[in-house]
Amino acid sequence: MPDEERIHFQQEQVSGIVVTDLQMATQGEMAASLIDSKLRGLRIEPAVESCERICKKIWIAGLQPEWWIYSNGFIPTRPSRALKRSIDIMGAIIVTILAAPVMIFSAILIRLTSAGPVFYRQERLGHYGRPFMVLKFRSMYVDAESGTGPVWAAKNDNRITPLGRILRKFRIDELPQLFNVLKGEMSFVGPRPERPCFMDSLRLEIPYYDLRHYVRPGITGWAQVMYSYGDSIEDAYEKLQYDLYYAKHMSLLLDLTILFKTIRVVLAGKGR
């Protein structure tokens, strides 16, 4: 590295270098400069790792196949999987008992305020891409998609009933998914399960989208507490970066962090 560049580094008090092109970093003068900088005490870090550490998400655009092969994480141990499942079962039983009055009252209000069933069943893709029927309190009018076909829910969605807006605001419509948790189709924490009808476009537009299915889907997740409600391909892309971060760093501590953040959202009525 030229002396003037070293002087510039010292003046600016540079503590590290972020590398965006790993292939270029291993060639010629660039590689020599980076080796020199590392041996002089500077931290050399790929951009993907910087984004992961600072933003708490995986930078999809910077990923290469070898990153998946050699990166740590993504494979929870058998004891940790058993612990997570045990917590899911015990938690679902406890929350169902505590929330029973709210669920019964909500069911009565749904029956009294709009025509149609109390519960809404919709096909979603779960662990390893297996389809299952997710259970929710009905928050939309019956046959809400008859004129439009499958579409993402949007802000001020006119398909949602007045009561449904309240149920969504406080995430009450999600409570029946506790039964999906008890059946082993979902977890408390994990990527939100996607509808099969959207998967073809998501796979085509978003790299690595199918990899989120290696984690059991959840009622809430890292993407839900870190990113606003999404209703587009661009939003799905952003949320996948958080889902991949969760898949890599899945742990009891991270699950507790997500649950506490979710409780804050529910109490503040920021659901949608």
Cα–Cα dist 225/98, whole Å: 23
Number of helices and strands in the chain (H, E): 12, 6
- 119-125 and 218-220 beta bridge pairing: unpaired
End-to-end CA distance of the chain: 54
Asked if residue 254 belongs to a domain, the reply is yes
Asked if residue 66 belongs to a domain, the reply is no
Same domain? 88 vs 51: no
The residue whose two tokens read 């509808």 is 195
pLDDT of residue 249: 95
pLDDT of residue 155: 66
pLDDT of residue 67: 87
- 131-137 and 187-189 beta bridge pairing: unpaired
**Angle at 204 (CA atoms; ends 23, 198), nearest 5 degrees:** 140
pLDDT of residue 58: 96
pLDDT of residue 147: 65
Same domain? 15 vs 98: no
Q: What's phi and psi for 208, nearest 5 deg?
A: 65, 15
Tokens standing for residue 233: 């391909």
- 182-204 pLDDT tens trace: 999 999 999 999 999 888 889 99
pLDDT of residue 19: 79
Cα–Cα dist 20/261, whole Å: 32
Q: In terms of Cα–Cα distance, which of 263, 249, 262, 252 is closest to 57?
A: 249
Same domain? 135 vs 21: no
- pTM assigned to the model: 0.86
Show the domain range for 44.
Answer: 3-55
Q: What's phi and psi for 120, nearest 5 deg?
A: -125, 125
Which residues, including other chains, have CB under 8 Å from residue 146's CB and lie 6 or more apart?
Answer: none
Asked if residue 146 belongs to a domain, the reply is yes
Count: domains in the chain: 2
Asked if residue 72 belongs to a domain, the reply is no
Cα–Cα dist 239/39, whole Å: 37
Asked if residue 65 belongs to a domain, the reply is no
Asked if residue 158 belongs to a domain, the reply is yes
pLDDT of residue 12: 61
Residues of the chain with pLDDT under 50: 1, 4, 7, 11
E strand intervals along the chain:
16-19, 43-46, 119-125, 131-137, 187-189, 218-220
Same domain? 137 vs 35: no
